[in-house]
Amino acid sequence: MSDEVTLTCQLGRDRMTVTGGSQVAYVLVEARPSDDAPQVRLPLNFTLALDHSGSMKGAKLQSVKEAVKLVVDHLDPADTVSVVVFDDNVRVIVPAQPATDKARIKALVDGIREGGGTAMSLGMSVGLTELRKHAVPTSVNRMILLTDGVTYGDAERCRRIADDAAAAGIGIYPLGIGADWDQDLLDNIGQRSSGMPAEFIRHPEDALGLFQQQLQSAASVSVRNAQLTLRLAGGVTPKRAMKVLPLVSEVEREQLADRDVVIALGDLERTTAQAVLAELLVEAKPAGEFRIAQAELAYEVPGSGQRKVRADAVVTFTTETVPTDEVNATVLNIVEKATQSRMVTRVLDEYRKTGKVTTVLHPSVTRMLDPETQRALDQIVAGTPISPEDVKNLSNKTRKLTQQL
């Protein structure tokens, strides 16, 4: 039995009435480091891969440089840092080194100037090379990738590099500044690398806070390279799965095999749960107690190797009529928020691609959204344009809906 992580399975309904047909079951799987997890701060191995193309000129680049220097100031001498900049080409500003001579590192960052276009894969590739120099199982290995534009014809190479990073236990955490970056690509890079979907820096002055959050996130890591496998019983098939904490993001269809759902969670932080919501179709069952799925979490404890922990999802089928209000309120609240997020994301994707919206949102989806989001959705549904910044802001807010719970 592994005690560093608490793994739980909650069902939307612990009891279901025998109907003679298939039924939908919601399973919420939550992983959270326990008090027995290592409490010490792990050494950080950071690469900052920064877009310094011509469009970064002015307040954007200056704010990013100040944010990078803030990160450097808060690193420990045992931490490793490197800084890579890219435009049409790539250059290593700070080769991977211990964060000891902070004045010199910050002076090198101050010397960054804007110019050129955007070839993001170059920055990612060289950044990954710098990270690999000091990537060890006992450190938190991360790339902070920042851009304000669309990369030039190398999107597929960016995805392959993200896959390489995942295989090496290196998460990529993308940051998009301004309105013109490719959200689908940056989200995909973060997810494929077992990092996180992109964060939105709406105003240059927001960069300081976002970089600080990235540093705090890395410093809070307790266990590494967590992978969740949801093994389904016979007669149970997956309809959909979504990561729901700390952010909402859809699990790609190819991760939903007939009997297993495999999802990389990456690093787990001491104060932050990660959770996955699975929507399962359960074939007709007779009365009795059935394990419809087993969750298994494999993870690494730095310095101690890999561990595993398991939890069962068990449903009792009964010939009695189960009251409609006999539900797990936590799970159903998560289902509701995840549905809201998915539907709003669909509307925003359609608007980004076509400039109009044909998807109709049911009032049950919009009634619990904040007023700003409701107004913006009403605008685009009515055919009134909103700014690209507003689209990205709404998307960023929508994927955080479950944090309210």
pLDDT of res. 368: 67
User: Would the pTM count as exceeding 0.75?
Assistant: yes
Q: What is the pLDDT of residues 8-28, one digit of tens each?
A: 999 999 999 999 899 999 999
**125: pLDDT confidence band, cut at 50, 70 and 90?**
very high
Q: Best-predicted range by mean pLDDT among 68-77, 300-309, 394-403? A: 68-77
Q: Which class is domain 5-39+222-318?
A: mainly beta
pLDDT of res. 146: 97
Task: Tell me phi and psi for residue 136, to 5 degrees.
Answer: -130, 155
Which is higher by pLDDT, 44 or 394?
A: 44
Q: Is residue 105 exposed (0-12), middle (13-18) or buried (19+ Cβ within 10 Å)?
A: buried
pLDDT of res. 3: 84
**1: pLDDT confidence band, cut at 50, 70 and 90?**
very low
How far is 302 from 393, CA to CA, in rounded Å? 36
Q: Which tokens hold the place of 385?
A: 């344009």
Q: Which among 33, 29, 32 is positioned nearest to 313, based on CA atoms?
A: 29
Cβ partners under 8 Å of residue 330, min gap 6: 10, 28, 405
Q: What is the pLDDT of residues 130-189, one digit of tens each?
A: 999 999 989 999 999 999 999 989 999 999 999 999 999 999 999 999 989 999 999 999
Q: What is the pLDDT of residues 335-347, one digit of tens each?
A: 999 998 988 888 8
How far is 238 from 120, CA to CA, in rounded Å? 35
pLDDT of res. 160: 97
| Residues 44-219, CATH architecture | 3-Layer(aba) Sandwich (3.40)
Q: pLDDT exceeding 90 applies to what percent of the chain?
A: 74
- Indicate the pairing of strand 140-147 with strand 44-51: parallel
pLDDT of res. 35: 86
Under a CB-based contact definition with an 8 Å cutoff, are residues 338 and 402 in contact? yes
pLDDT at 403 over 50: yes
Task: Show me where the domains of the chain are located.
Answer: 5-39+222-318, 44-219, 329-404
Task: Tell me phi and psi for residue 232, to 5 degrees.
Answer: -100, 145
Q: What is the pLDDT of residues 190-228, one digit of tens each?
A: 999 999 999 999 999 999 999 999 999 999 999 999 999
pLDDT of res. 405: 60
Under a CB-based contact definition with an 8 Å cutoff, are residues 120 and 149 in contact? no
Choice among 7-11, 128-132, 259-263 with the minimum mean pLDDT: 259-263
pLDDT of res. 278: 96
pLDDT at 367 over 80: no
Sign for the pseudo-dihedral over CA of 63, 175, 208, 102 = negative
How far is 298 from 307, CA to CA, in rounded Å? 6
Sign for the pseudo-dihedral over CA of 54, 58, 64, 69 = positive
Q: What is the pLDDT of residues 324-334, one digit of tens each?
A: 999 999 999 99
